A and B are shown apart, each in its own frame.
Chain A
Amino acid sequence: MIRLQHIERFFQVGEEKVHALRDVDFSAAKGEYIAIMGPSGSGKSTLLNIVGLLDRPDGGTYELDNIMTTTLNDKQQADVRRHKIGFVFQFFHLVPRLTAEQNVELPLVLAGVEKAERKGRVQETLQAFGIGDRARHRPDQLSGGQRQRVAIARATIMKPTVILADEPTGNLDRASGNDVIEIIEDLNSRGITLIMVTHDPELGDRAKRRIKMVDGRIEEDIGKQI
């Protein structure tokens, strides 16, 4: 369960103060599939970052699974991020010196999971995403689609309740893009909440709920459940 109320966010760009989010109210039920669309600069990525606890709002409250996150300190927020949220980025953000396996293992390492347990979980996840045979390859030895699969594997290994995807196909050709979307949708069909930022209308139309943002406001919210 995600509930944002009266969210405000400002950025100082040179002399100018940019109002990135203006009094945004947004809720998502568990298991929802939401696409956030809108022109660049409309605040959709900022909203995603606030939902992902990467950014703090300047005003308003954010409740995630009954935790009031806006009052948590850095350490507590990191803990929530670690266990409840998985990120999928446009540029994959794999660590270039680590193998696919090690990249997927990274969240478990940071969380302090035992090595013996890690190995099994990593293998399982890699197999599930069809990249078991690429486990010992470095990112530069993988295709774009394979890299994004590794990134998705990494995002899901901690069994998060929410997956946040920021233009997950923006850096892929059409075929591997479709591939990746199907994988993410499959995760959603198993009960993980999926929030995806995109400016591809075709992609956005696949979502059951579509939010359109303009100038830091939610202008349209189609298919809302609650």
Chain B
Amino acid sequence: MYIRDFIQLTTSAVRSHRMRSFLTALGIAVGIGSVVLLTSLGEGLHRFMLAEFTQFGTNLIGINPGRVTTGGISGALISNIRPLSIEDAQALARIPQVVDVISVVQGNASVESGKKQRRTTIYGIDSAAPEVFKLKVAAGRFLPDDPPRAARAFAVLGSKVREELFGTGQVLGKRIRIGSERYRVIGSMESKGQMLGFDLDDTVWIPTAKALAMFNRESLMEIDVLYKEGSSADEVSEQIKKILVARHGSEDFTITTQEKMLEILGKILNILTLAVGGLGGISLLVGGVGILTIMTIAVNERTNEIGLLRALGSEKNQILGIFLGEAVILAAIGGFAGLVLGVGGAWLLELIVPALPTHTSWTYIIAAELLAAVIGLLAGVLPARRAAALNPVDALRGE
């Protein structure tokens, strides 16, 4: 039999029951549509999250005080953690691959200017912060590279704080009060937007040593190390570890490389996408059961026809092929409709809710289409095999 004739013969059966074929294909369409739509959302989220995290650059290594372990004994019992100090940060700056080191302290305080007052996030930070965090200065300059213990009381305002306190007016040289101390504003930053709910614009940047004193802390909250492009993150973190162990006597800190973090994040997000794709897969499965049902009915209804085809000289394999072909055509039509539904739905969703990131990945589209065809095949196999195995005499008799 020619392929063209085969397709014509199988489509004629699908066409002869329009409503039934439509509903069966619809089951698959809903399945494929939801797989495509849900994975589009998952992929969109994936990309969105990665973009959020990489906006600070990827050559970053973070060091936090304390050791993240699961020893079973509370750290409070034998707390021999030494604070991370500004001197530790300075020591790390001597590693050859390291470009910049910044020490970070963060806290909350109220900022006053004249009669206006605002409670905001205060970052104690070094002069290198704009390079490391990829921040841009809008006016004036960032904090100067003062010796840490003799830092002057300068402050740089995030765009939102500047707006709230000074409106559109001049800010450079203005005096503000943070906590109980007076600072002079030497610059303001460009808007950076939110990162996972933290508003980076609603901040005031001051020297680290000043912040330590203000919040009455001994230890830095974090040291961030920016290393040269192309250097190995593992190698750099190994050197950091060596230096800090030498200074502290033991490993009482945690090193997190951005690379590792992104890798873990990527893994988590992939699993998330896979999980929502799996949810869509369930409806695809239901669609497959629909095909199985309809094909079983079709074989029962067309027992006579099967007997006739055998009498006209069809081989068992031809009968098998005809019924398998019908199942696959139903699945393929449904699959295509589902693709339109899913891609269109994702596009529409992005149009209506721009905040919801969607990204339709070809990998998932192709996987879903293949899955539809395979489900069609699987759902068709049982009824088609039954059709092929029918005894022609019995099949012709069944009226």
Contacts and interface: CB of A to CB of B under 8 A. Distances in A.
Interface string B304-322: 1101111111111110000
B312 A107 contact: yes
B312 A110 contact: yes
B115 to A, nearest CB: 86
A224 B373 CA distance: 58
Given A49-B393, A93-B304, A110 B399 contact: no
A91 B310 CA distance: 16
Contacts of A14: none
Contact of A110 (B1, B12, B13, B391): B1
Contacts of A96: 16
Contacts of B4: 115
B392 interface: yes
A54 B310 contact: yes
Among A82, A102, A106, A110, residue most surrounded by chain B Cβ atoms (within 10 Å)? A110
Contact of B12 (A93, A98, A154): A98
A68 to B, nearest CB: 19
B396 interface: yes
- Interface size class on chain B is 20 to 34
Nearest to A87: B311
A110 B314 contact: yes
Nearest to B16: A97
A111 B6 CA distance: 11
Contacts of A91: 304, 399
A157 to B, nearest CB: 10
Contacts of B315: 74-75, 78
Among B13, B307, B314, B316, residue most surrounded by chain A Cβ atoms (within 10 Å)? B314
A154 B399 contact: no
Contact of B313 (A55, A79, A89, A97): A79
A189 to B, nearest CB: 24
A49 B315 CA distance: 17
Nearest to A105: B5
Contact of A97 (B2, B12, B311): B12
Contacts of B16: 96-97
Nearest to B312: A107
A54 B313 CA distance: 10
Contact of B312 (A74, A97, A102, A154): A154
A3 interface: no
Given A89-B396, A109-B9, A112-B2, A95 B305 contact: yes
A81 interface: yes
A83 interface: yes
Interface in A94-129: 95-98, 102, 106-107, 109-112, 114-115
A74 B5 CA distance: 23
A54 B392 CA distance: 6
Contacts of A145: none
Contacts of A55: 391-393
Contacts of A158: 313
A74 B68 CA distance: 71
Interface string B81-95: 000000000000000
Contacts of A52: 311
A109 B305 contact: no
A55 B395 CA distance: 12
Nearest to B310: A54
Given A49-B393, A89-B396, A91-B399, A109 B313 contact: no
Interface in B360-399: 391-393, 396, 399
B396 A54 contact: yes
Interface in A36-91: 49, 52, 54-55, 74-75, 78-79, 81-83, 87, 89, 91
A175 B316 CA distance: 38
Contacts of B309: 106, 110
Contacts of B317: 75
A93 B310 contact: no
Contacts of B304: 91, 93
Contact of A54 (B5, B12, B311): B311
Contacts of B13: 97
Contacts of B312: 81-82, 87, 106-107, 110, 154
Contact of B393 (A54, A79, A81, A102): A54
A109 B5 contact: yes
Contacts of A49: 393
Interface of B: 1-2, 4-5, 9, 12-13, 15-16, 304-305, 307-318, 391-393, 396, 399
17 contacts: A52-B311, A54-B311, A55-B391, A74-B316, A78-B313, A78-B315, A82-B313, A83-B313, A93-B308, A97-B12, A97-B15, A98-B12, A109-B1, A109-B2, A110-B312, A114-B2, A115-B5
Given A107-B313, A110-B313, A110-B318, 10 more contacts: A54-B311, A74-B315, A81-B313, A87-B311, A89-B396, A93-B307, A97-B13, A97-B16, A112-B1, A114-B2
The 4 closest A-B CB pairs, nearest first, are A82-B313, A97-B16, A93-B308, A78-B315
